[in-house]
A and B are shown apart, each in its own frame.
Chain A
């Protein structure tokens, strides 16, 4: 009796058919086919339709392509036509899907009953109640709080508020007030320019985390890699990147040099460099820069070196390198902009660009990022004061959650507000404290537009029917309550008719509108405008230069890459995405330098009580060389008191430590003094890190620039002798036998061998690929407890290793680790059921329906890229359920959802390979190079991953695989991987002789 027959008999005789069916083995229950009444246009069942829209997860405004199957959006990809992100997309953007299908969405209007319980309302009741409250509150203070709205919705709110005599307050916790104020001080214009990373030759970041949350992370990372990647064919040398900040962030990990200046002295460093450039005449500075000469004289490197904590010689070297590159770009932000002196620091860094003659070249005023409408922290604290004084009778909140980011002041003042209305789709802290909740549609379900950058008009269109039909577009709510005719879509189109007048080029409106919808908007380029030193420029030179500041512990609260200000906290993809620096998931941590940890006798996971003058939190320790010894750092994002099942009561809210009073420039200080108490508690960190150091295993190779430039094509310096001489014969015979075995299928034609090249001079570790893999391949999120038990399912992981230390400069290197699709795979021969086997096109196939879960393959895999389903993550209502309804709607129908007891791993997105082969076959042609893009390569903002056929010698991947920088990880094991890594290229640190 064979295995199958045995199961059949078992099913028939033991009455266990139902039980077996529940495990997915027995007969399927009756399925129904329900036809459409009228088939939707544009959609063919079984094939995807793409709609262009705009991402609303942060202020950048990236263009999206929403992949829709059978009426459901199943994946978000970058819109290649958008000049902002050029077809790339970060983790947060991709995870917008989990906001759309979030199981904790508010599905219908609700109001607080007399006893504080939620009561359901019909829309007529809810709108009636809102209209009555508006009427009632007229003249007694009406305030509408929104997030950053640069388009029609914001204008509609403004006009309605004007009509009612109320006001709108825009609130973004990271609103870049310091950038706007710094530019006003330096140049008299409170705008945020476009930074041309791609054409920079020398990049200096003063705390600006342009790969995480700073302005436009995807676009700027893309530009950065264009300048900073190594290309042997390119004339110009790769740009050098210097990162100045007290903490080594994701952005900092790509730096050739990390300078951990004394916190708060970044501006002085920039000015000292400016002094050197001016006094040594290193660059053709604009004529009015001479005005700065006297002020800068007091900031000569020798006078400030001690204050900054860097040698004067080093400062002079940096200045010479910056000016000498003739393409310097200095950016300030992040931590450097979050001190009380943040605006001054930004202004000083701008002056450095100015004296180096770079304004108008790498820093372009004109195509400004639209942040004027982002509001300021001061406006919100003023609002909180008004609320506390009883001056607000009606508060409407849309797209902002001040209850989380302003936990003390705002939440207390809320009690004094007459009536509170929330348009939130989730019961977050602010919505939970309100009297009426009118759930808005998700941005992927609604019409809207935005103007993320001057010259760009981005459109948002509904990419599917609302998931919860009883939610209503906030724009429609406003129009109805204001008694205006038409829908929000009509309102939007009426505004686009104005654009049609300007940009229509003779086409009629419907043609113009359809065209804009198809492309995701209108993409124009705003001309660059010259700027001159502003009247306040000289004031920004005034720094009180003390000696070395007294030793005290400073705590820095930094924006979380994945969770942002906390808005991502209820999305399991983002919770489970390992932080690119700490590799910690699902909870917050406090970063402590090893020396400090030794002094305080701390170990990883020890819980500290951090007390600032404004609040206290308990945070587990994570020891890292990537932070100054006198600095502690904690991320934002966690510690929600409401918001949903994934966010609530998780870890700590770092905002509780911060001052609720605005700084002089109207922003918020994210740096506070703290005292530290050891609690004696300990927890296991939910980390996915294996080893913090690479330990010389050859996983990540790096080359100094000079050496990389000297490499001759066709040479392979990293090639290892993969087998000892005595084993060569045996290996050859074995390979021949294996080849024969593989050809048993007698397949017609030659087969490709799919392969990948990953350029480590481009990869930054941003982890966009990880989320893309989760989305494309139906990867389960397993939750905090299982991550602690090392049972995460991430097919694609980013390994981060620290370098240096013990006297050498500290840095970090990263590489994406996924199934290497070995030509000689250790996983295959150990599988007793041939579930792991070699496909004729060179993949390590994994047949889920064959797998019986021995886990031999995972044990034998030297790369540890196989993941086992310990639980039934897809079981509805199960203990470890990954996709509670309606999250299951985002599952990719082209990929099997694996069940308990099955091993799984990266397949090079075999569904996309087969899809492309099917398309090519229908068109009677072969698959073209570049036609297949795995999800990771598609999302990558750095374009570090290239996929294709290694047998086709003209393909890009084959050429890259032959690159002299190419190497295989663990080549010494003779696994013959299909993935070639191209060695990282670094500017050798000055201490080692410069590059």
Chain B
């Protein structure tokens, strides 16, 4: 139903431009990124999380693919929040190189020992009457397209909401890509 035509492909380019140059699809072309040292976390955008998990270190500097942790995004409407086991799988061995990193990784290890998962503050939330099937969007836009809606988290020390996620913003993309904008596609 969402066949890609020549015009639709042009739509992708427009969407990517809007999303910013950092959202380039080609992984090889991404320059090596070094996560900055953050001295004042108070100036960062977005809510403060129980653990200062740095997407820019994991996804940007270490180039861990988004799907490594959010692994159900290709098959389910839910991208999946990684289980504590996923964090601990690496951080059993990796203790961090700076005292700041070590302090945060220690929280992960303590949570694992206490069997008490961190309560992340949700940033991207849709109202209860909206359905967003992640898998269909990833199927069409590719597994590198997360930044289209979530911004380039590879450069975000602390994740903040990038797009408004309002209906007009959704519809813009659907109009550009000429896919259905029937109400009951998302509202039911």
Tell yes or no: A666 within 8 A of B by CB.
Answer: no
Judge whether B117 and A47 touch: CB under 8 Å. Answer: no
Known contacts A32-B122, A911-B188; A921/B139 CB under 8 A: yes
The reply to whether B76 and A45 contact each other, CB–CB distance below 8 Å, is yes
Contacts of B77 in A (CB 8 A): 46-47, 918
Question: Chain A, 916-932, contact with B by CB distance < 8 Å: what is the 0/1 string?
Answer: 01100110000000000
Interface residues on B, range: 35 or more
Q: B2, B117, B130: which contacts A748 (Cβ < 8 A)?
A: B2
User: Interface stretch among A373-381, A627-635, A844-852?
Assistant: A844-852
Contact in complex: B127, A28 (CB < 8 Å): yes
Give complex CA distance A45, B79 in Å.
Answer: 8
Of listed B85, B130, B188, residue having the most chain A CB within 10 A: B188
The interface centre, meaning the residue of A46, A840, A894 with most chain B CB atoms within 10 A of its CB, is: A46
Q: Which of A465-483 contact B (CB under 8 A)?
A: none
- A687→B66 CA distance, assembly (Å): 56
Query: With an 8 A cutoff between CB atoms, is A897 at the interface?
Result: yes
B168 nearest CB across to chain A (Å)? 10
A478 to B115, CA, bound (A): 32
A424 at the B interface (CB under 8 A): no
**Contact between chains at B120 and A35 (CB < 8 Å):** yes
Q: Which residues of the other chain, A, contact B1 by a CB distance below 8 angstroms?
A: 747-749, 917, 921
Q: Is B68 positioned at the interface, with any CB of A under 8 Å from its CB?
A: no
Is the pair B76, A36 in contact by a Cβ cutoff of 8 Å?
A: no
Q: Given A907-B188, A921-B136, A922-B75, A30 and B182 touching (CB < 8 A)?
A: no
Interface residue ranges of B112-140 to A (CB < 8 Å)? 112, 115, 117-122, 125, 127-131, 133-136, 139
Residues facing A in B81-98 (CB within 8 A) are 81-86
Q: Are A45 and B133 in contact (CB under 8 A)?
A: no
Is A643 an interface residue, CB under 8 A from the partner? no
Is A843 at the interface (CB under 8 A from chain B)? yes
In Å, the complex CA distance between A850 and B180 comes to: 18
Which A734-793 residues have a C-beta within 8 angstroms of B?
A: 745-749
Could you say which of A37, A749, A921 contacts B83, with CB atoms under 8 Å apart?
Answer: A37
Provide the main secondary structure of the chain B interface: loop
For the A-B complex, the count of residue pairs with Cβ-Cβ distances under 8 Å equals 131
User: B184 to A907, Cβ gap below 8 A?
Assistant: yes
Query: Is the beta-carbon distance between B120 and A34 smaller than 8 angstroms?
Result: yes
Task: Name which residue of chain B comes closest to A910, CB basis.
Answer: B188
Complex CA gap A24/B133 in Å reads: 23
Contact A840 B135 (CB under 8 A): no
A850 touches B121 (CB 8 A): no
List the B side residues contacting A895 at CB < 8 Å: 188
CB distance from B164 to the nearest CB of A (A): 12
User: A885-905, CB under 8 A of B: which get 1 and which 0?
Assistant: 000000000111100000000
Check: B183 CB closer than 8 A to any chain A CB: yes
Q: Does B80 contact A (CB under 8 A)?
A: yes
Q: Which of A28, A745, A849, A850 has a CB less than 8 Å from the CB of B182? A: A745
A729 in contact (CB, < 8 A):
no
Q: How far is the CA of A921 from the CA of B127 in the complex (A)?
A: 25
> In the complex the two chains form, is A848's CB within 8 Å of B78's CB?
no
Contact status A839-B136, CB under 8 Å:
no
Contact B136 A922 (CB under 8 A): yes
A162 on the interface (CB 8 Å rule)? no
Instruction: Knowing A47-B76, A847-B183, A848-B129 are in contact, say whether A748-B118 is a contact too (CB < 8 A).
Output: no
Closest CB-CB distance, A203 to chain B, in whole Å? 42
Whose C-beta in chain A lies nearest to the C-beta of B87?
Answer: A35
CB of B179 within 8 A of CB of A748, answer yes
Minimum CB–CB distance for B53 against chain A, Å: 11
Q: Contact between B84 and A37 (Cβ–Cβ < 8 Å)?
A: yes
Contact B129 A849 (CB under 8 A): yes
List B contacts of A45 (CB < 8 A): 72, 76, 78, 80
Asked if B188 and A896 sit within 8 Å, CB to CB, the answer is yes
Distance of A911 Cα from B119 Cα, bound (Å): 30
B5 within 8 Å of A by Cβ? yes
Tell yes or no: A725 within 8 A of B by CB: no
Question: What CA separation (Å) do A749 and B180 show in the bound complex?
Answer: 10
Whether the pair A839, B183 counts as a contact (CB closer than 8 A) is yes
A30 touches B122 (CB 8 A): yes
A224 at the interface (CB under 8 A from B): no
Asked if A843 and B122 make an inter-chain contact with CB atoms under 8 angstroms apart, the answer reads no
The residues of A that contact B133 with a CB separation of less than 8 Å are 914, 918
- A39 at the A/B interface (Cβ < 8 Å)? yes
Q: Which of A826-880 contact B (CB under 8 A)?
A: 837, 839-841, 843, 845, 847-850
- Specify which chain B residues have a CB less than 8 angstroms from the CB of A46 in the assembled complex: 72, 76-78, 134
Contacts of B135 on A, CB cut-off 8 Å?
A: 918, 922
Q: How far is the CA of A911 from the CA of B75 in the complex (A)?
A: 17
**A33 close to B (CB within 8 Å):** yes
Asked if B187 is an interface residue, CB under 8 A from chain A, the answer is yes
Q: Determine whether the beta carbon of A44 is less than 8 Å from that of B127.
A: no
Given the interface pairs A33-B81, A748-B179, A914-B131, the reply to whether A921 lies near B2 with Cβ below 8 Å is yes
Q: Decide: B128 and A897 in contact? CB cutoff 8 A.
A: yes
Contact A31 B125 (CB under 8 A): yes
A44 close to B181 (CB less than 8 A) = no
Partner of A845, one of B117, B136, B184: B184
Query: By the criterion CB–CB under 8 Å, are A35 and B188 in contact?
Result: no
B residues near A837, Cβ cutoff 8 Å? 183
Which of B86, B136, B139, B187 is close to A847, meaning CB atoms less than 8 Å apart?
Answer: B187
Contacts of B136 in A (CB 8 A): 918, 921-922
Q: Within 8 Å of chain A (Cβ to Cβ): is B3?
A: yes
Question: Would you call A38 an interface residue if the criterion is a C-beta within 8 Å of the partner chain's C-beta atoms?
Answer: yes
**CB neighbors of A among B170-188 (8 A):** 178-185, 187-188
In the complex, the answer to whether A896 meets B128 with C-beta atoms within 8 Å is yes
Alpha-carbon separation in the docked complex, A849 to B117 (Å): 34
Q: Complex formed: what's the CA distance from A30 to B48 in Å?
A: 12
Counting from the closest, the 4 A-B pairs by CB-CB distance are A46-B78, A46-B76, A31-B122, A36-B83
Taking Cβ atoms with an 8 Å cutoff, the residues of A that contact B are: 24, 28, 30-39, 44-47, 745-749, 837, 839-841, 843, 845, 847-850, 894-897, 907, 910-911, 914, 917-918, 921-922
Besides A843-B184, A910-B188, A911-B188, 14 other A-B contacts (C-beta < 8 A): A33-B81, A34-B119, A35-B84, A37-B84, A37-B115, A46-B72, A745-B180, A747-B179, A839-B182, A847-B183, A914-B131, A921-B2, A921-B136, A922-B75
22 A–B pairs (Cβ distance < 8 Å), ordered by A: A24-B128, A32-B120, A36-B84, A37-B85, A38-B83, A39-B83, A45-B80, A46-B78, A745-B181, A747-B1, A748-B3, A841-B182, A843-B184, A845-B183, A847-B184, A847-B187, A849-B187, A850-B183, A896-B187, A907-B188, A922-B136, A922-B139
